[in-house]
Chain A
Amino acid sequence: MHQILSFVLDGKIQNITFSEHFSPTTTVLNYLRSGNEHRGVKEGCAEGDCGACTVVIAELDVNNKLSYQAWDSCLVFLPMIHGKQLITIENLKQVKDGQSILHPVQETMVSCNGSQCGYCTPGIVMSLFSLYKSEDKPSTLRIEDVLTGNLCRCTGYKPILEAAAKACVHGGKDQFNNEEAEIISMLLEIRKNTESLSVENKTQKYHQPLSKAEALKLRKQKPGAVLISGATDIALRVTKKHEHLSDVIDLSHVQEFKKSGGDVNTIYLGAGLSLEAVKTLVKQTLPALYETLVVFGSKQIRSLATLGGNLGSASPIGDTLPTLMAYDASVILESEEGVREINMNRFVLGYRKTELRSDELITGVHIPKHEPDKIVKFYKVSKRKDLDISTVSACFSLKLQGSTVKEIRMAYGGMAAVTKRVETAENFLTGKTWSREMVEQAMDLIGKEFTPISDARSGAAFRSMAAKNLLLKFWSETK
């Protein structure tokens, strides 16, 4: 075990020992802004909703090549960037012989009038930079996806879309290519230390296991410690509620949790996979899960957030839950004692309460392969279509025999303290004709099933209406 956090910034390996200045739960945003050199990065919300704090993280992929991703630095605890390269807005402009040379994404942002007040701009430029490095001549759809996590109150976005399209035409080539070999060797250098990071001081303990075995051992030893994977939920306790997390187990560096695979019948997804990675993996195989992730948070959020974290939160508005229920998935729970699999329908016990024992971790999910004669669809109703939490969500799966319902599953989020199937309606519809008349009767049963709440997102009546309508919508798209 070692105590020193190492990452690459400004072309150098930075080593940080946690002291009175920085604790392991100091965010990357606050770390950067605490000095005078990196104040280009901005705080707009400290909760992952605005993207003003966007930085780019370059990390080694399986082939030891660098891949670039935009993260919301306000949600990232410092140890999470161990062994990675942190790229900030200050790194994009080059100065050669006293002349400034802008990066192509900066250049087009200037020429297209992409900034007005400029406060969102560093974050937007960093998102565009991540796009520049990962995709050439991206479609408008892709550009919009990358920018969804960056709010701008001034421009109306159009010039920024233009700037993105104009910039990303050089095959990702820029000055970073010249430095890559050097950066890779620095990152490999950091990796040579195969011990895990572990900080224990008077007020805080923070452990970052590198293997499943180490993680399960820590879990057993410290049943009360806070678990984090992507920290997109947990970080808010620090940034918004100013809580002090005294004991943390950070699972973000356990490579075994980031695997995927399966066999003839099932697909396996590791709990530590980022939702962006899951999205790419399941595009063909699990269309409804893909659709769920298209409208899940933003690119920055999905690059951090994990499947395990979404299940671990067990929030009634966790978006993957209804989908996994409709797919009849099961959650894999592991401890030093062994492995067990719990069907999604039985995993969540109550409001943010699950089957998970205090010595267990969620290590993955098994999802039965999509049957060609089954239709599965996910719907999310939220105030804003993108980067918003569900007011109501639903996932339906349907198997028809002719026009008769052979099997139907209807799982709802946002309607009760837990994500919930509507068995009364499912039973009613099974064996009936998949007709509007039957569907409308089933809608009444949905109405009877739930007594939703009124809150900041919507009133209860709206939730009921929308929940019922979603079944009709599903019918209209499958009849």
Chain B
Amino acid sequence: MNKSIPHDSAIKHVSGESVYIDDMQTDSRLLFGRAVYSSMAHAKILSIDIAKAKALPGVHAVLLAADIPGANQMGPVVHDEPCLAEKEVICVGQAIVLIAAETPEIAYEAEKLIKIEYEALDSILDIRTAIEKDSFLAPPRQMKRGDAETELKKAKHLLKGEVETGAQEHWYLETQSCLCIPGEENEITAYSSTQHPSETQAIIAEVLGLPKNEIVVEVRRMGGAFGGKETQANWIAAWTALLCQATKRPVKIRLFRDDDQIMTGKRHPYLIRFEAGFDEEGKISAVKFEQFADGGCVTDLSMAILERAMLHADSSYYIPHMLVIGRACKTNLPSNTAFRGFGGPQGMAGMETILDRIARFLKKDSAEVRRINFYGMGENNITHYGQEVELNRLPLMYEQIIQSSDYFKRRKQVDEFNSKNEFYKKGLALTPVKFGISFTTSFLNQAGALVNIYKDGSVLVNHGGTEMGQGLNTKILQIAAAELGVSTQFLKVNATNTSKVPNTSATAASAGTDLNGMAVKNAIDILKTRIAGVIAEEFSKKHPNDKSLANDIQFANDMITDTKHPDRNIAFAEAMPLVHLNQVSLSAAGFYRTPDIGWDKATGWGKPFNYFAFGMCVSEVLVDTLTGFHKNLRTDILHDVGDSINPGLDIGQVEGGYIQGVGWCTTEEVKWNDKGHLLNHSPDTYKIPSVQDIPADFRTALLQSAPNPNAIRKSKAVAEPPLMLAFATWLAIKDAVSAVGNHETEPEFRLPATNEVILTSIEHLRNEIR
């Protein structure tokens, strides 16, 4: 079971045989779809002239909002999101017209022939303006424990400040794509690159004005998603389906890279204001946060993201008195959306900034200050929302990583280096991760599965989760094989399909394996009970006086065996025809809901999470203080995945997540101009980490002997938490910058720490010294 088998598609990946939507074979009737979008951040639409585009040979449909047969609505939670803009546009990139044409080139030609007249309206393009103009998506949310306002006044030291975190583009390698194939009458099958097939199905049905049973959504795999295809893949699917229904021909939309970057939302930028009270040692008594998220033009998932940011405002620290106020700003930017971490990273950035500043202020080592504030074991272990931090791994992991990274020795070496060098400075930092696993909207914590065993003994596993590279299907394969006691070659995990497993939740919140693995186990348990009954009876036929009992039947090593009478056994594959002959079903649906969680959104109190995943990181960087360049010299990671189901895949998630976090913290800068146009709309100017940006010395370890009683096979979710390990690198850079001013002055800093941010901060420090 718990071993590193390669990704179940690895051989297909390396041979170019894994099929993504754009690779699917289609017939010559295929049309190429295109969405024409707004060039204005906020404007009234005065007129749309599509006559010439319609007349262009090779164009088969040009659709406007008025042509939508169902509801002009794509909002996943709040219904505030039109499918196509009708009278008003609220961001650059908002879809207005849909085109289907015989080639992509003809679709471009047609687009050029469309004339849209606008009347500009005032637009809001950033958080500060939104605050000023009182532009919010919803009323504020609040979480509190104790009396932060009073305690802040009493504290020995008071720290006040703010920190900004930037947007982040998902930059999945496969841009948003969908292929719709028309069936009989109203039927449509949508092959969509979506993390949430059930919702994609729902939105297609809604815009087409059809019941959901007409629509099938299937997902084989995605070429990356990272949250970007949790809700916004629905758009592309809805547009494709509209064109498919209008033309009754297969239609495909694959967004061009720049269009994808311009149209779709990003990680929410944040402005976080904080006040923290602490004592001489650096122990924090009270914190007040005001978190402002840039939600963009519509709600999308902003309120859930806001909630998770608030729930992670504590990072890994026990704060006796805490007040968190969260607000989602409404601006004229594309709606920001889910991105690995889902607000958690932004929430933690606020607290990690506080810890970093306290240490500098007190002239103490920041790792030490972190340690004394960690959640305790048995005491000081209740979060600001009332959940106990059970099985707290922080103290143990701190001890281990301090040792393995040689932290204190290297701290000295860094200081020594800095005292000897003017133009190069080194920095070092340790940061923790504590990440809550579960959807905070409790009812979403459910999953379904359908396991079919065929008469030849081969098994087809269907579940509601989607494969986006994380290795979910591989883990499901391992789980199913272990539960059924057969080797993996008997098994195949099917493409996710809404007609096999309905009404599923998104593959998100890192909970894919936890939820779907349990549902698959449930289905297999049902099947095993049925099979055991039949087989026990079969065994008993030869031993009427000493019958086999169903309870004693064991599934292992491709065999079914009576454990009381081990000589009574049958090969798994041979047993299946017997079960069939006995008129017992070899197909079972499984279901799972996470038990014992409960969370009151109104009071901000309860147990939103099934458990926490932990991690810790020590990072050392070298900053060139004349150019702002930095080099990641060495990074040590210790991460907690419980009993790993597949260490190879888990380490891949940890390292990949960390590097994605490093991108967010360093080079991935998203800027809009004063008209709301995205400036970094292609990889030419939007810079995700390249192979040269990973640590020169990169050490990753999984925490050993730390089983998790609360999830499948004692494992832990892994997808999101490692992203936040990157704060160690972010703050190591800050530490190096701070060394320019001999750690006497708090440097200006923000996230991402681009070389522009770094150099500007250094310049200010230098001017201060002069």
Contacts and interface: CB of A to CB of B under 8 A. Distances in A.
Nearest to A463: B756
A153 B763 CA distance: 33
A88 B755 CA distance: 38
A120 to B, nearest CB: 5
Interface stretch (A9-17, A60-68, A158-166, A326-334): A158-166
B428 to A, nearest CB: 21
Given A49-B683, A381-B627, A466-B627, 12 more contacts: A116-B471, A116-B656, A121-B13, A144-B692, A151-B173, A153-B172, A155-B652, A159-B652, A381-B755, A465-B760, A466-B755, A469-B627
Interface in B690-728: 690-694, 698, 700
A47 B683 contact: yes
A393 to B, nearest CB: 11
B7 A115 contact: yes
B692 A385 contact: yes
A116 B12 contact: no
Contact of B690 (A118, A379, A384): A384
B445 interface: no
Interface string B466-510: 001111000000000000000000000000000000000000000
Interface stretch (A37-45, A209-217, A269-277): A37-45
Contact of A122 (B16, B656, B698, B754): B16
B671 A113 contact: no
Contact of A47 (B23, B171, B624, B684): B684
Interface stretch (B222-230, B377-385, B389-397, B520-528): B222-230
Give 5 closest A-B pairs by Cβ, nearest first: A40-B16, A117-B469, A119-B223, A118-B13, A89-B16
B759 A469 contact: yes
A469 B18 CA distance: 49
Interface residues of B, number: 81
B552 interface: no
A469 B626 contact: yes
Contacts of A304: none
B469 A154 contact: yes
Contact of A109 (B4, B14, B657, B756): B14
B694 A46 contact: no
A42 B173 contact: yes
B442 interface: no
A284 interface: no
Interface in B1-27: 4, 6-7, 9-20, 22-23, 25
B284 interface: no
B669 interface: yes
Given A113-B6, A113-B7, A113-B652, A47 B471 contact: no
Nearest to B254: A43
Contacts of A46: 256-257
B640 interface: no
B649 interface: yes
A389 B684 contact: yes
A305 interface: no
B14 A153 contact: no
Decide if the interface of chain B is mainly helix, strand, loop or mixed: loop
A125 B14 contact: yes
Nearest to A381: B627
Contacts of B175: 44
B147 interface: no
B125 to A, nearest CB: 16
A455 interface: yes
B626 A470 contact: yes
B7 A116 contact: yes
28 contacts: A36-B25, A39-B23, A41-B16, A44-B174, A44-B175, A49-B683, A89-B15, A93-B15, A114-B14, A115-B7, A117-B174, A117-B468, A117-B469, A118-B10, A154-B224, A155-B655, A157-B689, A158-B698, A159-B652, A160-B691, A242-B105, A242-B108, A384-B687, A384-B693, A385-B629, A466-B626, A469-B627, A476-B423
Interface in A25-55: 33, 36, 39-47, 49-50, 52
Interface in A436-458: 455-458
A47 B258 CA distance: 10
A120 B655 CA distance: 17
Contacts of A386: 690, 692-693
Residue of B16, B20, B108, B698 ringed by the most chain A CB atoms within 10 A = B16
A1 interface: no
Contacts of A92: 15
Given A92-B15, A122-B16, A466-B628, A151 B683 contact: yes
B688 interface: yes
Given A118-B13, A153-B226, A113 B694 contact: no
Contacts of A465: 759-760, 763
Contacts of B471: 116
A461 B760 contact: yes
Interface string B158-198: 00000000000011111100000000000000000000000
Interface in A150-196: 150-161
A459 interface: yes
Nearest to A107: B14
Contacts of B22: 33, 39, 43
Contact of A156 (B17, B648, B658): B658
Contacts of B651: 113
A52 B13 CA distance: 12
A22 interface: no
B649 A113 contact: yes
A42 B74 CA distance: 29
B353 interface: no
B694 A158 contact: yes
Contacts of A310: none
A472 B626 CA distance: 8
B466 to A, nearest CB: 11
A456 B692 contact: no
Given A46-B257, A119-B223, A240-B258, A102 B655 contact: no
Contact of B173 (A117, A160, A461): A117
Contacts of B17: 40
A381 B11 contact: no
Contact of A148 (B170, B172, B423, B690): B690
A110 interface: yes
A116 B691 contact: no
A118 B693 contact: no
A245 to B, nearest CB: 13
Contacts of B688: 151, 153
A156 B656 contact: yes
Interface string A300-329: 000000000000000000000000000000
Contacts of B422: 476
Nearest to A116: B469
A78 interface: no
Given A110-B14, A455-B679, A151 B626 contact: no
B657 to A, nearest CB: 8
B692 A119 contact: no
A102 B105 CA distance: 37
Given A113-B652, A457-B685, A385 B14 contact: no
A462 B224 CA distance: 34
Interface in B96-131: 105, 108
